[in-house]
Amino acid sequence: MFGLLSDASAWLSTCPCLLEFYEISHHAETFCFQNLSAFDIPS
């Protein structure tokens, strides 16, 4: 139980970083996709 509790607190302290990283990578992906779709690149 104690191990689970400490894992949970470690996860909670890491979670904001993961969310921030996800947001950044998601925005970068969207940005790249919008830039690519602006060009007429044949598949």
- Which tens digit of pLDDT belongs to each residue from 2-41? 566 667 677 767 777 777 777 777 777 776 667 666 666 5
The answer to the question of residue 22 being in a domain is yes
Write the CA distances from 20 to 7, 9, 17, 37, integer angstroms: 20, 18, 5, 26
Tell me how far apart the alpha carbons of residues 18 and 11 are, in angstroms, rounded to a whole number.
10
Number of independent structural domains in the chain: 1
Q: How far apart are the first and last CA of the chain?
A: 53
The answer to the question of residue 41 being in a domain is no
The answer to the question of residue 40 being in a domain is no
- pLDDT for 42 equals 60
Domain hosting 19: range is 2-33
On the CB side of 18, CA atoms within 13 Å amount to 6
- pLDDT for 39 equals 62
The answer to the question of residue 43 being in a domain is no
pLDDT tops 60 at residue 1: no
> Is the whole model's pTM more than 0.75, yes or no?
no
Tell me how far apart the alpha carbons of residues 4 and 33 are, in angstroms, rounded to a whole number.
40
- pLDDT for 41 equals 55
